[in-house]
Amino acid sequence: MAINEITNEEIKKLETEMDGWVMTKILEERARTVGDKTFINIRNKKLFTYKEVNERSNQVAHYLQKLGIVKGDRIAILLSNCEEYVFILLGLHKIGAVQVPVNTAYKMDFLQYAIDFSESRLLITSNEYLERIVPIEDSLPQLEQIALVGENQDNPGIKKIPLIDFSEAWEHSRENPGIEVTFADPERIMFTSGTTGRSKGVFRAHAAAYWSARNYVKVVGVTSDDVIFTSLPLFHANAQALSLFPALLAGATIAIYERFSATQLWDWCRECGATVFNILGAMSYFLYNQPVKPNDGDNPVRMIMAAPSPRDIYHEFENRFKVKFTEGYGLTETGMATYMPPEAPKIGSIGKGAPGYVVKVVDDKDRELPPNTPGEIVIRNQLPWLMVTEYYKMPEKTASDFRNLWFHTGDGGRMDEDGYIYFLDRIKDYIRRRAENVSSFEVEKIINAHPLVEESAAVGVPAGEGAVAEEEIKICVVLKEGSQLDALDLIKWAEDRMPYFMIPRFIEFYKSLPKTPTERVQKHILKSNGVTEDTWDLVASSYKVKR
């Protein structure tokens, strides 16, 4: 059966299995059956078996209970990738407390908002980030304690909130705390890395974490012999739901490194024996653009899950590194809602609806569109608790995004006659120019194909006084190291490759683009920059674009 098909009979059977859809129940079983097998590999320096991880998470659970944490309490985690992060995460699962993973790039207002808006009673962090609490301490009235992980626990100036030593957790019982946690209980509040406005707190249940892992295991074909590698941050859904939890579900091993490095990734995979890893955004291009080495294909990796895959170098990448791609599409709210059927891939698409999801493309009145007609991608779950249950404390936004009982992604796409979906753009990222809706994704795709361009981002800037809902296109360009490129030469190169109305009026060269830690370009920053002294203007150049 193709990966995207799920029958009514299967749905009924799955609903009877849902009581077991809690990851720590599976951890308990793994500890009993394959307890001596390595579950966690930290930078190929520290190894922890299933039994050890289970016992450590139990100790964390008892420690949290001693601190007064009970089922349903929110706990903020502000840590880099480390073994403690895994123990804390699973320890929270053991007692039904809710994780609030905090982006390690957050500071000041962003950090205050994540901790206070989530009503977190406890923050678990390290000295690396503790000084960020000092200027916002008075704005965290609901935060009762801060537990510090690691050594060198100096106080940089915290005056009111008690600091405690997380290492006290290892003095507690290794036995299960005995709290009943169900698949419908809340598992996380994870803040979206949106490019505009306040981040939304995505409330999801334990069933959602389980189902994301289950689908990943099925599509990628993960077995107990695999080693899933991740250098993505554990505060991100990808590292948890598409790396840690699939490894646990399959009885495999997960190798966790601190951060992505295009120069070191393949060596890391060799040293830890990685067979599977995930990439986001431009990471595949960063890897491909490294100098060719004789041993590029000499690595243990068999499969890369990409979001998205590098369409223009798809086969070249696979042949060079001797790997295979699969692909999917999802959001923090939904999990991976589409996957590419491995037996019938269509390069350029994001696959078909994943098991447990129905995916459609609709018009602005939520009517399903005919094949190959652009519209908005909407999603509905076939089983309960698989997607966001609410935006925390945002009932109006929850109702708006779930209007007509479909989750509205805000992403533009089309679906072909065979049910394959093609991502077009964030709908709000469409640039309205001269009566045309221009896809920033398409502009970037073409500009990025220039041999001297490393990456780019297209944004709309005001077309001038009196313009109503009209914008000019500005392309923000990062050149490959050591390269030089004249703006007009880039225009001349592009005009043969795109319609005249897509040609950017403005070009500005950047050393790097502003990004979130998950490599998403922060377009709101580029957009707010507008036209600067360093921006080249096609109109001012007097060059006439060919039509």
Tell me whether residue 535 is in a domain.
yes
Bigger pLDDT: 441 vs 211: 211
Report the Cα 465 to chain-centroid distance in Å.
38
pLDDT at position 161 is: 98
Place of tokens 């289970």: 54
Report the DSSP beta bridge partners of residue 146.
123, 163
Confidence grade of residue 28 (pLDDT, cut at 50, 70, 90): very high
Asked if 122 contacts 147 with a C-beta cutoff of 8 angstroms, the reply is yes
Q: Are 94 and 177 in contact (CB under 8 A)?
A: yes
Task: Give pLDDT, residue 359.
Answer: 97
Flag whether pLDDT at 14 surpasses 90.
Answer: yes
CATH code of the domain in which 528 resides: 3.30.300.30
Nearest to 100 by CA among 80, 86, 112, 118: 118
pLDDT score for 5 = 67
pLDDT band at 4, cuts 50/70/90?
low
Whether residue 511 is contained in a domain is answered as: yes
pLDDT value of position 466: 39
Average of per-residue pLDDT across 113-139: 96
Structure tokens at 165: 């030593």
User: How far, CA to CA in Å, does 377 sit from each of 152, 278, 327, 329, 331?
Assistant: 49, 23, 17, 11, 12
Mean predicted confidence (pLDDT) in 532-539: 95
Mean pLDDT of the chain: 92
- Nearest of 543, 482, 472 to residue 508 by alpha carbon: 472
Kind and range of the H or E run holding 533: none
pLDDT digits (tens, 9 = 90+) for 107-118: 888 889 999 999
What share of the chain in percent tops pLDDT 70?
A: 95
Average pLDDT on 271-293 reads: 93
Q: What is the pLDDT of residue 471?
A: 85
User: Is the pLDDT confidence value at 10 over 60?
Assistant: yes
Q: What is the pLDDT of residue 441?
A: 81
Residue 537 belongs to a domain: yes
Number of H helices, E strands in the chain: 17, 27
Q: Which CATH number belongs to the domain containing residue 79 in this structure?
A: 3.40.50.980
Residue corresponding to tokens 């699973």: 90
84 assigned to some structural domain? yes
Residue 468: what pLDDT? 41
pLDDT at 346 over 90: yes
Residue 123 lies in a domain: yes
From 130, 158, 181, give the residue that closes a domain. Answer: 181
What total number of domains does the chain contain? 2
Residue 66 lies in a domain: yes
* pLDDT at 23 (0 to 100): 98
**Burial classification of residue 296, based on how many CB atoms lie within 10 Å of its CB (0-12 exposed, 13-18 middle, 19 or more buried):** middle
Asked if residue 392 has pLDDT above 60, the reply is yes
Question: Would you state the pLDDT for residue 446?
Answer: 86
Nearest Cα to 353, choosing from 8, 7, 4, 6?
A: 4
Give the domain range for residue 94: 23-30+42-181
pLDDT value of position 281 = 76
Asked if pLDDT for residue 193 goes beyond 60, the answer is no
Over residues 323-345, the mean pLDDT reads 92
Out of 121, 146, 181, a domain closes at: 181
Q: Which of 181, 208, 237 is the last residue of a domain?
A: 181
Residue type, 124: I
> Cα–Cα–Cα angle for 274, 275, 277, nearest 5°?
80
Answer whether 149's CB lies under 8 Å from 125's CB: yes
Amino acid at 67: L
Overall average pLDDT of the 169-177 stretch: 98
DSSP of 432-445: EETTEEE-HHHHHH
Say yes or no to pLDDT of 495 above 90.
no
Q: State the pLDDT at residue 166.
A: 98
DSSP 271: H
d(CA 56, CA 166): 12
Of the chain, the percentage scoring pLDDT greater than 90 comes to 79
Residue 518 confidence (pLDDT): 67
**What pLDDT does 500 receive?**
80
CA gyration radius, the chain: 24
Q: Which range is least confidently modeled, 1-5, 7-11, 17-21, 264-268?
A: 1-5
Q: What is the rounded average pLDDT of the residues 474-489?
A: 96
Mean pLDDT of 91-103: 97
Is the pLDDT reported for residue 1 higher than 50? no
In this prediction, residue 74 carries a pLDDT of 98
In a domain, 294, yes or no: no
Q: Is 223 contained in some domain? A: no
What mean pLDDT do residues 21-41 have?
98
Please state the rounded mean pLDDT for residues 497-523. Answer: 87
Mean pLDDT calculated for residue range 481-487: 95
Residue 426: band (very low, low, confident or very high) from pLDDT cuts 50, 70, 90: confident
Cα dist. 82→149, 194, 493 in Å?
A: 10, 26, 46
Least confident residue range of 237-246, 271-280, 438-447: 438-447
Flag whether pLDDT at 205 surpasses 50. yes
ω before 342 within 30° of 0 (cis)?
no
